[in-house]
């Protein structure tokens, strides 16, 4: 399971543990995926995620993904 987005330009900075738009590559460790293991944790992460960006909690089972929008 994981917290991810497919919107263009948004990357998760693993070193600073935050989402950034169009970062400078090479300075930090970036990825489009952040670890998240429950719906409760997903809701907490949405509160800190960029406002208006669609995020997906990817499930292990097909068809059980949860979608939400950032609130920060």
Q: Give per-residue pLDDT as tens, 5-62.
A: 888 888 888 888 888 888 776 677 788 888 888 889 899 989 988 998 999 898 878 7
The pLDDT score that the predictor gives to residue 25 is 66
pLDDT band at 63 (very low <50, low <70, confident <90, very high): confident
Domain count along the chain: 1
What pLDDT sits at residue 26? 67
Pair 56, 67: CB distance under 8 Å? yes
Q: What is the pLDDT of residue 66?
A: 87
| Its pTM surpasses 0.85 | no
Cβ distance 57 to 42 under 8 Å?
yes
Contact 36, 3 (CB under 8 A): yes
The count of other CB atoms within 10 Å of the CB of residue 67 is 9
Domain limits at 33?
A: 2-69
């Amino acid at each position: 399971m994981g917290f991810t987005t497919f919107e263009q330009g948004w990357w998760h900075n693993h070193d600073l543990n935050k989402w950034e738009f169009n970062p400078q590559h090479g300075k930090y460790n970036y990825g489009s995926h952040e670890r998240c293991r429950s719906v409760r944790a997903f809701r907490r992460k949405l509160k800190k995620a960029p406002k208006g960006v669609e995020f997906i909690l990817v499930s292990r089972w097909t068809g059980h993904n949860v979608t939400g929008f950032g609130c920060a």
